Structure 1
Amino acid sequence: MAKVCQITGKKAQVGNNVSHSKRRTKRKFEVNLHTKKYYWVEQDMWIVLRVSAHAMRTINKIGLNAALKKAEAAGNIDFKDIKILSL
């Protein structure tokens, strides 16, 4: 599975390591991803998402349902890709 946030669509960026002598070598800036379990009240189920720290703040601010709708409209998530927990 690729290192991509399911809510914001953030993925790794490419940049340079710069040494003291200013030599540049390529490197990757990875996304701060976490696998997090959320309770989706509207569907009455637990789901697991791979979200960045920024997406966690977005979910806390606007709510899980609104964040999922916004992510689907942006094309970052497909509802068949959401892992559903049966507890």
Structure 2
Amino acid sequence: MTLEMPKNSELTFGWFHYARGRASGMHKNHYISKGTWKTLCGCHTVSTYDITNIRFVDESELFKNKRCKMCLNIIEHQARFDSI
């Protein structure tokens, strides 16, 4: 099965680090709809069969090693770009 790149950032994530959740900030519940989701690097897909509730407790929890190295590099690069 071939999976197209998502057309919006809500369908793009690193391991347990969803673009939608990060934009909303910490200490909130984030719900990811069922379906097939693609990682930021595009190398992995994850399928969820129900609505998944992800809770980010704090920044250290958000940045644990739950992503592949390529996703982590993309996120770090974007953070540097955003700080300019």
Whichever structure has more helix as a proportion of its residues is 2
TM-score, normalisation: structure 1? 0.31
Larger radius of gyration between Structure 1 and Structure 2: 1
More strand by share: 1
| TM-score calculated relative to the size of structure 2 | 0.32
